[in-house]
């Protein structure tokens, strides 16, 4: 492979930002874009006055609710690195979307609120990172508020998330006394003025903690405390080990306040140096490495109507190997057909630019008229599917009801496209062609209803079903399969791919069914 492509791989950093809702994930994303020069002012999430700012929460319902419900992809250049951020929904009802996004990143920044500490969703997201051995950096946010003691937070993170930590920056004071952060990694101290909308001007950089200028700037008490803390940390913790971080055994920790731009530059500067470059991915046949000559990639997200003025549908493709080129034919392995993309795009929040080429680690948007499903693979001819992008069995089920018979076509198109995006799963039950929507959280039904109305002009309602669990089922015994279908016909539907699904009224009834039909195999993710 030529050295240009190798250089392209080495300079890319593709990562996800994950957190419990309200820990400050969207604010941190925005500040990264600010440092990367991708936007000039921050604060667009909350303020309509600042039109200049791009933001990752661009869907209307997100602006209304103030939560991220769609994963956004944003790229920017920073100090000779090409940084790709995949922002994820923090809300637990969208955990599946977050899980799929984590299949497309090489590392993660986990945001923890210093007031609340480790929360439930943080634990779940960390489990997903562990399943994939994804390297994690922890950013402890909101140091401008009266929060937990930094040592207690580190202990809590180690215990609750089952990962070793190593602070690379340390806060000077907390809440009302918060003055900035000391960079233990670079042995530098930067003191900032709080500025919520622009990059704060650096006041001073101190390379020696013993320098009396520190006392003049932060006072004797905080200066002496910082000296004690820095000495203690160097004594308690081993040197930062890069290999252990890449093996996802050790999490470097940074402190700061995203909203006030405290500690963000230290985080970003260290991140681009230590975070992994694009990694290989497993397929059913073999491991695909980034520096292979031939292009490969997989679809991890589909989003309809990114632009409300155009009814477009974009499939997000993570490039795994080789070079992607505009207007070149690629092989869609599931459909066994060749596809060409005349307008592949890169993203800056909701700004899209047509690109000529892209490299491993990049995420490109491919305009799609119904060819793609989540998990699809593109190659230059080789036949395989990338692994590890499953659908999960939903837990809440509702019947979709059409409120306007004149808009039946729009409703059908809308629900098909939205479920292709992975917002929810769609099942069809006979007799009567009943449409059942299954999700992992209640909020998705609000989002579907809102988007069907605003994007497709289709009014709908949902009525609750008593099912508690769905599972795909298969069997090598055709007679037993027929018997099962006959006895359980009122609890069986098909998914969008025509696979049969069994709906259980309770976990207990599922267990009873499994015991009664031992020759039937029940599957709780779509990868079987």
What class does CATH assign to 281-379? Answer: alpha beta
What is the third-level CATH fold of 3-274? Answer: Rossmann fold (3.40.50)
Q: Hey, where are the domains in the chain?
A: 3-274, 281-379, 396-523
CA angle 340, 292, 373 (to 5 degrees): 40
For residue 309, with 0-12 CB atoms within 10 Å meaning exposed, 13-18 middle and 19 or more buried, which class applies? exposed
Residues linked to residue 164 through DSSP beta bridges, in sequence order: 250
Mean pLDDT of 117-145: 86
Matching CATH topology for 3-274 and 281-379?
yes
- Taking the C-alpha atoms of residue 349 and residue 30, their distance in angstroms, rounded to an integer, is 10
Residue entry with tokens 């930002």: 17
pLDDT value of residue 457: 92
pLDDT value of residue 424: 86
pLDDT value of residue 370: 79
Mean pLDDT of 247-266: 89
Kindly state the DSSP code that residue 119 receives in the 8-state scheme. Answer: -
Alpha carbons within 13 angstroms on the beta-carbon side of residue 369 total 3
CA angle 108, 396, 468 (to 5 degrees): 115
pLDDT value of residue 49: 35
- 342 versus 394: the higher-pLDDT residue is 342
Residues linked to residue 340 through DSSP beta bridges, in sequence order: 329
Mean pLDDT for the chain overall: 84
**Residue 198 banded pLDDT, cuts 50, 70, 90:** low
Residues linked to residue 301 through DSSP beta bridges, in sequence order: 316
The 10s digit of each residue's pLDDT in 412-422 is 999 988 888 77
Would you put residue 157 in left (φ > 0), alpha (ψ -120 to 50) or beta?
alpha
pLDDT value of residue 423: 77
Residue entry with tokens 């632009």: 307
- The dihedrals phi and psi of 446, each to the nearest 5 degrees, come to -60, -45
What is the third-level CATH fold of 396-523? Answer: Alpha-Beta Plaits (3.30.70)
Mean pLDDT of 23-30: 83
Do 156 and 118 form a contact (C-beta atoms < 8 A)?
Answer: yes
**Residue 293 banded pLDDT, cuts 50, 70, 90:** very high
Do 346 and 379 form a contact (C-beta atoms < 8 A)?
Answer: no
Mean pLDDT of 212-237: 86
Helices (H), 171-313: 213-218, 220-236, 242-246, 264-274
- Return the SS3 of 81: strand
**Residue 46 banded pLDDT, cuts 50, 70, 90:** very low
- Taking the C-alpha atoms of residue 239 and residue 247, their distance in angstroms, rounded to an integer, is 16
- Taking the C-alpha atoms of residue 200 and residue 148, their distance in angstroms, rounded to an integer, is 25
pLDDT value of residue 47: 41
Q: Which of 53-57, 115-119, 498-502 has the highest mean pLDDT?
A: 498-502
Question: Across the beta sheet with 425-429, what order do the strands follow?
Answer: 460-464, 396-402, 434-439, 425-429, 492-494, 500-504, 469-474, 521-523
Asked if pLDDT for residue 66 goes beyond 90, the answer is no
Helix (H) or strand (E) holding 109: strand 107-113
- Return the SS3 of 430: coil
- 322 versus 19: the higher-pLDDT residue is 322
Do 515 and 507 form a contact (C-beta atoms < 8 A)?
Answer: no
Kindly state the DSSP code that residue 461 receives in the 8-state scheme. Answer: E
- Taking the C-alpha atoms of residue 101 and residue 92, their distance in angstroms, rounded to an integer, is 14
Do 169 and 230 form a contact (C-beta atoms < 8 A)?
Answer: no
pLDDT value of residue 53: 39
Asked if pLDDT for residue 203 goes beyond 60, the answer is no
């Amino acid at each position: 492979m030529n050295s240009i492509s190798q250089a392209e791989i080495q300079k890319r950093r593709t990562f996800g930002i994950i957190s419990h809702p309200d820990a400050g994930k969207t604010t941190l994303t925005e500040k990264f874009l600010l440092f990367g020069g991708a936007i000039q002012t921050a604060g667009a999430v909350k303020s309509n006055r600042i039109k200049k700012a791009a933001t990752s929460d661009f869907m209307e319902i997100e602006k209304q609710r103030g939560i991220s419900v769609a994963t956004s992809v944003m790229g920017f250049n920073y100090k000779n690195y090409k940084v790709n951020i995949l922002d994820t929904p923090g809300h637990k009802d969208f955990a599946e979307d977050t899980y799929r996004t984590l299949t497309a990143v090489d590392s993660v920044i986990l945001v923890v609120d210093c007031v609340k500490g480790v929360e439930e969703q943080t634990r779940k997201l960390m489990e997903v990172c562990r399943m994939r051995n994804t390297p994690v950096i922890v950013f402890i946010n909101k140091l401008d508020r009266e929060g937990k003691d930094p040592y207690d937070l580190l202990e809590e993170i180690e215990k609750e998330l089952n990962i070793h930590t190593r602070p690379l920056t340390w806060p000077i004071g907390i809440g009302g006394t918060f003055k900035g952060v000391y960079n233990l990694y670079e042995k530098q101290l930067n003191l900032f003025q709080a500025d919520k909308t622009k990059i704060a001007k650096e006041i001073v950089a101190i390379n020696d903690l013993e320098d009396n200028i520190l006392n003049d700037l932060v006072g004797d008490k905080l200066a002496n405390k910082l000296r004690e803390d820095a000495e203690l940390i160097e004594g308690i913790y081993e040197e930062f080990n890069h290999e252990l971080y890449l093996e996802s055994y050790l999490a470097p920790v940074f402190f700061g306040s995203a909203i006030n731009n405290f500690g963000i530059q230290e985080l970003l500067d260290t991140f681009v140096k230590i975070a992994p470059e694009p990694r290989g991915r497993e397929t059913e046949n073999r491991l695909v490495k980034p520096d292979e000559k031939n292009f490969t990639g997989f679809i991890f997200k589909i989003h309809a109507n990114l632009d409300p003025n155009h009814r477009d549908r974009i499939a997000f493709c993570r490039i795994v190997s080789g070079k992607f080129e505009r207007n070149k034919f690629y092989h869609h392995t599931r459909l066994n057909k060749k596809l060409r993309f005349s307008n592949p795009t890169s993203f800056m929040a909701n700004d899209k630019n047509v690109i000529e080429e892209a490299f491993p680690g990049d995420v490109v948007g491919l305009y799609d008229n119904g060819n793609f499903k989540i998990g699809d693979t593109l190659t230059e001819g080789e036949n395989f599917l990338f692994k590890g992008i499953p659908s999960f069995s939903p837990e809440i089920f509702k019947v979709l009801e059409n409120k306007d018979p004149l808009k039946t076509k729009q409703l059908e198109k809308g629900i098909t496209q939205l479920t292709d995006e992975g917002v929810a799963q769609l099942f069809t039950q006979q007799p009567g062609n009943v449409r059942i929507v299954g999700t992992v959280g209640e909020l998705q039904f609000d989002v579907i209803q809102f988007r069907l109305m605003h994007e497709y002009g289709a009014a709908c309602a949902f009525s609750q079903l008593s099912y508690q669990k769905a599972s795909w089922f298969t069997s090598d015994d055709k007679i037993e399969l027929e018997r099962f279908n006959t006895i359980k016909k009122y609890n069986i539907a098909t998914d969008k791919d025509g696979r049969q699904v069994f709906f259980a009224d309770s976990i207990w009834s599922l267990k009873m069914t499994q015991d009664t039909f031992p020759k039937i195999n029940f599957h709780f993710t779509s990868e079987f």
